[in-house]
């Protein structure tokens, strides 16, 4: 097996057979010809079921995550909700208190109404997770690590052991960790989810999602049925763009994470910053677990709590010149967001918090930008 850097850069080394093209053709056909004897020997009939445009990005991602198979979806939310919709009404599922806000909303408002027994716990605390398990009834434990927007760290190996002991499966939203730093399946998880909109693509120019499974089993088949029957599929062009983005995953993500570490250390000393939330800082609550489970870096997402409260935080965000004020994360350009404004009244996100997605610009430019914005923001 080649190293992941090689797998990503060469997209598994594929060459298109007919033309010897190094970059794959863009497949756009919605339908595929049936053989004269009424068979479908190509294995394909209609692009809602599957699409040749998915093959390469799915196989590259499966290889990077050390999974048996991967599936692309129309968005990260489409991928995540397919996991829950593959369960049955009445099933008990455990999810984190601190997690991506829209998915938490969907679980509270849609999935509960649909019949799932959703319980939110502090999944960064193994004792709390263990206490929430109902053996034989809990079907799924969903975790996110590092988790939006406080970057709580979940010990994946411990969570897998707890879930499996109760007969449940463990799914990990690994969007922020990326396959560069963490392989949840190797640590015991059953399923990995990505908002491919973020680091996998990396250029803020498409919306996509993905699931990767440890084993092709009945549960995976149900998720595949959800994708096909609901039609939560990625477009051909987006699949092609995603593959192109994944080729540079390793250098992009490593550069961004190195800058994030530099920024976190410097911002910790900034007189206008009350605290820095970043798993790479030794004083951060989840640091020891992150240091064990994240290989070679701590990701490029962090939050800062601004002295002076909500007004000062929003004022600082208003003054950035290099960072862009925008939601989302994982692109080559750095973004800043006053997260509580997005998440609304029920959020666990403090009002003085700015979320930073660190890109691949010069780290000195990024730090100088934040320093001037914080200085004048008070
Ligand atoms: C950690 C995480 N999971 C899931 C999602 C949802 O992904 P998408 O916006 O592609 O639907 C996001 C999007 O912000 C995210 O940050």
Per-residue model confidence as pLDDT tens digits over 45-76: 999 998 999 999 999 999 999 999 999 999 99
Between CA 295 and CA 280 the distance in angstroms is: 11
**107, 197, 235: residue to mutate for ligand 1 pocket, most atoms within 8 A of CB:** 197
The residues, any chain, with a CB within 8 Å of residue 285's CB and separated by 6 or more, are 124, 152, 153
**Residues lining ligand 1, CB < 6 A?**
75-77, 100, 103, 144, 148, 173, 175-176, 195, 197, 207, 209, 328-329
Q: Each residue's pLDDT tens digit in the chain (378 positions)? A: 899 999 999 999 999 999 999 999 999 999 999 999 999 999 999 999 989 999 999 999 999 999 999 999 999 999 999 999 999 999 999 999 999 999 999 999 999 999 999 999 999 999 999 999 999 999 999 999 999 999 999 999 999 999 999 999 999 999 999 999 999 999 999 999 999 999 999 999 999 999 999 999 999 999 999 999 999 999 999 999 999 999 999 999 999 999 999 999 999 999 999 999 999 999 999 999 999 999 999 999 999 999 999 999 999 999 999 999 999 999 999 999 999 999 888 888 999 999 999 999 999 999 999 999 999 755
Nearest to 90 by CA among 163, 139, 162: 139
**Atom of ligand 1 at shortest range from CA of 80:** 4
Distance (angstroms) between ligand 1 centre and the Cα of 100 equals 7
For the full predicted model, state whether its pTM sits above 0.85: yes
Catalytic residue ranges = 48, 100, 173, 198
Q: Whose C-alpha lies nearest to ligand 1, atom 8?
A: 76
Distance (angstroms) between ligand 1 centre and the Cα of 243 equals 18
């Amino acid at each position: 097996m080649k190293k992941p850097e090689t797998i990503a850069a060469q997209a598994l080394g594929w060459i298109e057979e007919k033309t010897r093209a190094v970059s794959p053709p863009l497949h756009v056909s919605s339908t595929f010809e049936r053989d004269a004897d009424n068979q479908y020997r190509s294995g394909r009939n209609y692009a809602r079921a599957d699409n040749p445009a998915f093959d390469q990005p799915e196989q590259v991602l499966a290889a990077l995550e050390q999974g048996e198979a991967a599936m692309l979806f129309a968005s990260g939310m489409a991928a995540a909700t397919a996991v829950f919709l593959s369960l049955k009404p009445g099933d008990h599922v455990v999810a984190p208190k601190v997690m991506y806000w829209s998915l938490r909303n969907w679980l509270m408002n849609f999935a509960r109404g649909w019949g799932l027994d959703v319980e939110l716990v502090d999944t960064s605390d193994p004792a709390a997770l263990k206490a929430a398990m109902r053996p034989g009834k809990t079907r799924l434990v969903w975790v996110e690590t590092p988790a939006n927007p406080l970057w709580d760290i979940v010990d994946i190996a411990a969570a897998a052991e707890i879930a499996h002991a109760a007969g449940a499966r463990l799914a990990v939203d690994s969007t922020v960790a990326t396959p560069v730093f963490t392989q949840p399946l190797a640590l015991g998880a059953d399923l990995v989810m990505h908002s491919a909109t973020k680091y996998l693509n990396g250029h803020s120019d498409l919306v996509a999602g993905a699931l990767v499974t440890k084993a092709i089993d009945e549960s995976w088949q149900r998720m595949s049925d959800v994708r096909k029957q609901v039609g939560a599929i990625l477009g051909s062009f987006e699949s092609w763009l995603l593959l192109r983005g994944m080729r540079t995953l390793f250098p992009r993500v490593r550069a961004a994470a190195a800058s994030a570490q530099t920024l976190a250390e410097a911002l910790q000393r900034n007189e206008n910053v009350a605290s820095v939330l970043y798993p790479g800082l030794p004083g951060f609550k989840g640091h020891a677990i992150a240091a064990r489970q994240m290989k070679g870096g701590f990701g490029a997402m962090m939050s800062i709590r601004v002295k002076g409260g909500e007004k000062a935080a929003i004022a600082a965000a208003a003054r950035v010149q290099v960072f862009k004020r925008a939601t989302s994360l994982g692109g080559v350009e750095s973004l800043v967001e006053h997260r509580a404004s997005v998440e609304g009244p029920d959020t666990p996100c403090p009002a003085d918090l700015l979320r930073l997605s660190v890109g691949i610009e010069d780290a000195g430019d990024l730090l100088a930008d934040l320093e001037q914005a914080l200085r004048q923001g008070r």
